[in-house]
Amino acid sequence: MSKNKKYPVNKSEEAWKIDLSPDEYKILREKGTEFPFTGKYNDHFEEGIYICKGCKTPLYESKTKFDSHCGWPSYDQCIEETLELIPDHSSGMLRTEIVCANCGGHQGHVFKDGPTKTGLRYCVNSASIDFIKKAE
């Protein structure tokens, strides 16, 4: 999240700590990362929508998910205008952080190495999202 930016969903850090588990808080609010191949949605391929764990904003459609073999859920696109892209120099390299445009919650990073026609790989932490299964 941008440090000084006000997002539509704007809670105190104390409120976030109440609403999120410690792992979710670490990832969404402190830009943490889960260990690869441990996340709930890494090998998840049901039909539906992936939403922000912090504010329930729909972020990714299941049809855009693919197995990148990187250890985190990967998508080749997001739902339009739902993510903010932020240059990230924190690991000694230039990456692009992705945060929810509604609450500023850290999702992960987007890379230009995707195998699909978009050429993108949105690499997302399972703890930063939830899933709503498509109604049958």
Return the active site residues.
123
From CA 83, how far away is CA 50, in angstroms rounded? 13
Q: Examine residue 2 and state whether it is found in any structural domain, yes or no.
A: no
- Which residues are CB-neighbours of 136 under 8 A, at least 6 positions away? none
> Predicted confidence band at 3 (pLDDT cuts at 50, 70, 90)?
low
Q: Examine residue 91 and state whether it is found in any structural domain, yes or no.
A: yes
Q: Of 97, 73, 92, which Cα lies nearest the Cα of 5?
A: 97
**Residue-number span of the structural domain to which 27 is assigned:** 13-133
- Model confidence pLDDT, tens digit, residues 96-128: 999 999 999 999 999 999 999 999 999 999 999
Q: Examine residue 66 and state whether it is found in any structural domain, yes or no.
A: yes
Q: Examine residue 3 and state whether it is found in any structural domain, yes or no.
A: no
Q: Examine residue 4 and state whether it is found in any structural domain, yes or no.
A: no
Q: Examine residue 45 and state whether it is found in any structural domain, yes or no.
A: yes
Whether the predicted pLDDT of 136 surpasses 80: no
Instruction: Compute the average pLDDT of residues 20-41.
Output: 96
- Listing DSSP states for 25-37 in one string gives HHHHHH---PPTT
Question: pTM, whole model, 2 decimals?
Answer: 0.92
Domain count, the chain: 1
Q: Which two tokens stand for residue 6?
A: 């006000």
From CA 117, how far away is CA 131, in angstroms rounded? 25
- What's the residue count for the chain? 136
CATH code of the domain in which 127 resides? 2.170.150.20
The sign of the CA dihedral 29, 7, 109, 85 is negative
Q: Examine residue 51 and state whether it is found in any structural domain, yes or no.
A: yes
- Model confidence pLDDT, tens digit, residues 41-99: 999 999 999 999 999 999 999 999 999 999 999 999 999 999 999 999 887 788 999 99
